[in-house]
Amino acid sequence: MNIREKLEKREYQILSDIATKSAESKGRKIPEEKSDMRTDFQRDRDRILHSKAFRRLKHKTQVFLSPFDDHFRTRLTHTLEVSQIARSIARALDLNEDLTEAISLGHDLGHTPFGHCGEGVLNELVDGGFNHNIQSVRVVEILECLNLCRETVEGIMTHSWGYKPTTPEGKVVQLADKIAYINHDIEDSIRAGVISESDLPKHCIEYFSSIQSKRLSKMIHEIINNSIGKSDISMSEEAWGYTTELRTWMFENVYNDSSTAKLEESKARRVIRELFSYYCDVLKNICPADRIPRVVTDYISGMTDRFAVERYKELFIPTGLKCSARDDYLFKLANMTE
């Protein structure tokens, strides 16, 4: 029995009956020889972690565009927080922690530069719209050909609001994503001066706490305590009601408002629009017309904030004539007599 087989056997011994077992995976689109050391879900996690799309998350916006303050979240730190929360829940409920981590790390790989602002622009420009969860699946299946297990791909696809994951691990990630961004976006918004602690809905804060760590901990406990011994993963009805209300309040007062922190979004939209138009024009003599929007969407959605801005500057902002710098004046000073 090799290491992978021992790990698979251990899963049957320690995981819940409802947990997704590695040995029972629905497999990959392209069959592969099994690893002798890692389970299939562990291999998925490692492939995502080493992907180029994952590395680019460090320079993609979470909520606030390209902040100078190093303590604001980026799409990468959001992803890591989701992973930590989801793994804690999965471990407490004896679910498959490796599958949970793989889904968590891959759930936002398809996010655009400039966060949901960039996603909204592409959604307007592309026939059929643009959704980052669908793009995340495209990243792992086509653009980087990671050949992940079907359970991992399905979890990535269904992490967004309104979808129904088919595995308990996928449900954990969907909940972890919500409570992660609600809590860290509140903290970042207070740091940015967009809102103050006293602005938050009073009854929600009374229920969860005004202290971020306590509020997050209570949400996690509400999921665990309400799901132990059950076939479904969910918060208590009361806690979910307060969580949903807090999320709605954040959309109304932070995500969709016209505060100072969001004023740069009009510029970000212009960057995406003009890059999209430019690249479509560049490809008109290279690609079939029906493929151009898809190719350009893949390219732009993969950009980081700073790469998109730099390309915009290079393409649309004029620069003065550049002459090579010379040190003539230094030698002139050296030859001067006092």
DSSP state of 22: G
When divided into structural domains, the chain yields a total of 2
Residue 140 located in a structural domain: yes
Residues 109 and 141 in one domain: yes
pTM given for the model? 0.92
Residues 172 and 305 in one domain: no
Q: Cα–Cα distance between 96 and 86 in angstroms, integer?
A: 11
Residue 321 located in a structural domain: no
> Residue 22 corresponds to which tokens in the numbers above?
């590695």
Residue 118 located in a structural domain: yes
Residues 162 and 105 in one domain: yes
Residues 209 and 307 in one domain: no
Q: Cα–Cα distance between 256 and 296 in angstroms, integer?
A: 26
Which residue, chain included where needed, has tokens 């004029």? 318
Residue 277 belongs to domain spanning: 266-316
Q: Cα–Cα distance between 278 and 70 in angstroms, integer?
A: 32
Which residue, chain included where needed, has tokens 């409802």? 18
Residues 248 and 109 in one domain: yes
Residues 98 and 217 in one domain: yes
Residues 68 and 97 in one domain: yes
Residue 333 located in a structural domain: no
Residues 187 and 296 in one domain: no
Collapsing DSSP to helix, strand or coil, 149 comes out as: strand
Residue 272 located in a structural domain: yes
Q: 252: buried, middle or exposed (CB in 10 Å: 19+, 13-18, 0-12)?
A: exposed
Residues 258 and 310 in one domain: no
Query: Which tens digits make up the pLDDT trace of 296-305?
Result: 999 999 999 9
Residues 234 and 214 in one domain: yes
Which residue, chain included where needed, has tokens 């700073």? 306
Query: Which tens digits make up the pLDDT trace of 60-97?
Result: 988 877 656 778 899 999 999 999 999 999 999 999 99
Q: Identify the CATH number of the domain in which residue 214 sits.
A: 1.10.3210.10
Residues 242 and 273 in one domain: no
Residues 120 and 215 in one domain: yes
Residues 307 and 272: beta-carbon distance below 8 Å: no
For 88-200, strand residue ranges (E) read none
Check the CA dihedral 236-239-244-247 and report its sign.
negative
Check the CA dihedral 302-73-123-153 and report its sign.
positive
Residue 162 located in a structural domain: yes
Encode the chain (338 residues) as per-residue pLDDT tens digits: 999 999 999 999 999 999 999 999 999 999 999 999 999 999 999 999 999 999 999 999 888 776 567 788 999 999 999 999 999 999 999 999 999 999 999 999 999 999 888 999 999 999 999 999 999 999 999 999 999 999 999 999 999 988 999 999 999 999 999 999 999 999 999 988 888 999 999 999 999 998 999 999 999 999 999 999 999 999 999 999 999 999 999 988 888 755 555 668 889 999 999 999 999 999 999 999 999 999 999 999 999 999 999 999 999 999 877 776 677 777 777 888 66
Residue 55 located in a structural domain: yes
Residue 330 located in a structural domain: no
Domain termination site, one of 217, 247, 262: 262
